[in-house]
Amino acid sequence: MYANVWNKLCRYLLIYYIVVTVLFNFCNSTIDLNLPELQYLADHLHKEECKRLVAALHFKSYDKPCLLDLAENKVPSDPTCLELLLHWNSTPGEGKGETHEILLHRLRQIGRDDLADWLGKTVFHQLGNDLEREINEALDDFQNVTEKTHRYEAKPTFAPPVGDVDPTEWLPFDTICWVLICGIIITILITTLKVICLKCCKRPKNKKKKRY
């Protein structure tokens, strides 16, 4: 019973640890955008919208940049929208290692709330899948360790099974117990007889002394 309770407790603690770890990593900008998500955005943005988005992504301020029109004119027109997004996403100091929240925020600033909503739902769906996969893998590892532990504890011993012993069978242990009991009884009887004999022997001597 205690083993089952301990296994359940360990399983719940393991799941709690995985959930907290994944959520902590998510909140600390460790989940990047992937290629299919960037491809979807590039396919649903007009060329002018894409250039405006890439220009806004190069600013560090949270609010909409005042010089956005000037920065948009400096964005090259030859690369495709996907190439521009991939360059931003893979460049250190720009999008590399950042979270999708930056791109989502800039999409709303250029008026593409529909793409921002889609991106948010997609990333959270991917987060749910990653979380489920991590939990399943951890539980599988925990189950394998538990099964190995049970197999180790279930190794056969040299002691005979309880069901194979006849309760009416006379064992060596029973003989030893009876010998000890008989020895104790005999010792008590001998001691009692000695005490009685000593008392009986003293009485005649006392009577003879009284006559003189």
CA atoms within 13 A on the CB side of 206: 6
104 and 180 inside one domain: no
Is residue 22 domain-shared with residue 110, that is, in the same domain? yes
Coil, helix or strand at residue 76: coil
Structural domains in the chain (count): 2
Distance CA 90, CA 75 (A): 17
Same domain, 26 and 115: yes
Tens place of pLDDT per residue across the chain (212 aa):
445 545 555 555 555 555 555 444 444 333 567 889 999 999 999 999 999 999 999 998 889 888 899 999 999 989 999 999 999 988 888 888 788 889 999 999 999 999 999 999 998 888 777 777 777 777 777 666 666 665 655 555 555 555 555 556 667 777 888 888 888 888 888 888 887 777 677 655 555 554 44
- 29 shares its domain with 80: yes
> With a threshold of 0.85, does the pTM exceed it?
no
* Percent helix, strand and coil across the chain, each to the nearest 5: 75, 0, 25
**Residue 162 included in any domain:** no
Same domain as 202, residue 133: no
Domain-embedded: residue 197? yes
What was the pLDDT predicted at 50? 96
Domain boundary among 140, 160, 191: 140
Do 132 and 198 have their domain in common? no
The string over 35-73, giving b where at least 16 C-beta atoms fall within 10 Å of a residue's C-beta and e elsewhere, is: eebbeebbeebeeebbbbbbbbbbeeeeeebeebeebbe
Do 74 and 55 meet the contact criterion of CB atoms below 8 Å apart?
A: yes
72, 118: one domain:
yes
How many Å apart are CA 152 and CA 156, to the nearest integer?
Answer: 10
How far apart CA 204 and CA 210 sit, in angstroms, is: 10
Both 119 and 188 in one domain: the answer is no
Residue 16 confidence (pLDDT): 52
Q: How many CA atoms lie within 13 A of 137 on its CB side?
A: 7
Do 60 and 107 fall into the same domain?
A: yes
Question: Do 90 and 188 share a domain, yes or no?
Answer: no
Instruction: Say if residue 96 is in the same domain as residue 23.
Output: yes
Residues 64 and 133 in one domain: yes
Please, what is the Cα angle at 68 between 65 and 74, to 5 degrees? 140
Q: Are the beta carbons of 65 and 59 closer than 8 angstroms?
A: yes
The whole domain housing 193 covers: 173-212
The answer to whether residue 87 is domain-embedded is: yes
Tell me what pLDDT residue 98 has: 81
Does some domain include residue 147?
no
